[in-house]
Amino acid sequence: MLELRALRCGYGLVEAVHGIDLNVRRGCITALLGPNGAGKTSTMMALAGRVAIQGGSVVFDGEDITRLSGGERTRRGMALAPEGRRLFADLSVGENLTVGGYTRSKADAARAQERVFGLFPRLAERVRQRAGSLSGGEQQMLAIGRALMSSPKMLLIDELSLGLMPAVVDSIFATLLALKAQGMTVLLVEQNVPRALRDADDVALLVAGRIVFTGPAQEARDSERLSALFLS
Ligand SMILES: Nc1ncnc2c1ncn2[C@@H]1O[C@H](COP(=O)(O)OP(=O)(O)OP(=O)(O)O)[C@@H](O)[C@H]1O
Ligand SMILES: [Mg+2]
């Protein structure tokens, strides 16, 4: 579904990611793991068209999207729930979702919103509540729901579980597995390594802007050497 070839990205003269190769398989959950400052967010933002790509290429669903804008990537079916969630705190749940569906017709956005409410009933109950007054877990649901409003083929989630209670994380991962069962492709960044190794199909370990391992999550789970590497 997504192929990164020798991807370089960063900020002005500073390169944060130094030429990474990564394949994200269609209909699978891939976890991008690595220590603070490794370049995970830079990679996710570059994929979403919000951080400059300085070299290499990105092929999404058979099309080279390296030079496309963020909006053009959204229209082709890629959506990001960014680190820190970036909700509009003073807008309601419903208004935040409307923003996520800005590229769609009214009828399509209404259908997408019904689907989001089916996945996250908590959001339906709080449709008029200010996003800033939601719990952390509800805010993460809203950030994912807003991304789903464009009915993407692929969902990028940066820091899925950060700051959330285990029960809430369980519920969000269960929703991701339900989305996967409907054919969704997911690339997520996750600090909780055991959790990611358990629920992802594939994993990639990014250290200091370079990929040091990619492969099936099961391989990383079953090998003591790899588990230790991922947890270090
Ligand atoms: N806006 C920016 N301007 C300049 N450098 C930046 C900017 N954002 C990030 N960087 C640098 O890029 C590198 C990678 O940062 P990035 O946020 O991608 O890491 P990360 O793996 O997401 O870390 P974390 O786990 O802490 O979220 C770091 O050296 C960081 O200082
Ligand atoms: Mg980050």
In a shared domain, residues 130 and 201:
no
In a shared domain, residues 71 and 178:
yes
In a shared domain, residues 195 and 182:
yes
Note the ligand closest to the C-alpha atom of 35: 1
In a shared domain, residues 121 and 172:
no
Domain finish residue from 151, 177, 193: 151
CA distance 205 to 30: 11
Model confidence pLDDT, tens digit, residues 196-215:
999 999 999 999 999 999 99
In a shared domain, residues 5 and 52:
yes
In a shared domain, residues 38 and 65:
yes
**Of 65-74, 85-94, 96-105, 135-144, the least confident:** 96-105
Predicted local confidence at residue 224, as pLDDT? 84
In a shared domain, residues 205 and 118:
no
In this model, does residue 103 exceed pLDDT 90? no
Q: What is the mean pLDDT of residues 158-187?
A: 95
Residue 14 pLDDT class (50, 70, 90 cuts): very high
Structural domain count, the chain = 2
Cα–ligand 2 centroid distance for 3 (angstroms): 21
Mutate to test the pocket of ligand 1, among 7, 9, 14 (most ligand atoms within 8 A of CB): 14
In this model, does residue 226 exceed pLDDT 90? no
In a shared domain, residues 113 and 165:
no
Q: How many CB atoms lie within 10 A of CB 226?
A: 17
In a shared domain, residues 115 and 171:
no
CA distance 172 to 151: 18
Predicted local confidence at residue 225, as pLDDT? 83
In a shared domain, residues 9 and 49:
yes
Domain that holds residue 99: 84-151
Ligand 1, CB cutoff 6 Å, lining residues = 11, 14, 16, 34, 36-42, 83
Q: Which atom of ligand 1 is nearest to the CA of 35?
A: 25
In this model, does residue 128 exceed pLDDT 90? yes
CA angle (19 as vertex; 14, 24 as ends), nearest 5: 125
The residues that bridge with 78 in the sheet, in sequence order, are 154
Domain finish residue from 151, 176, 209: 151
Domain finish residue from 102, 125, 151: 151
Classify 209 in phi/psi space as left (phi over 0), alpha (psi -120 to 50) or beta. Answer: left
| Amino acid at residue number 61 | D
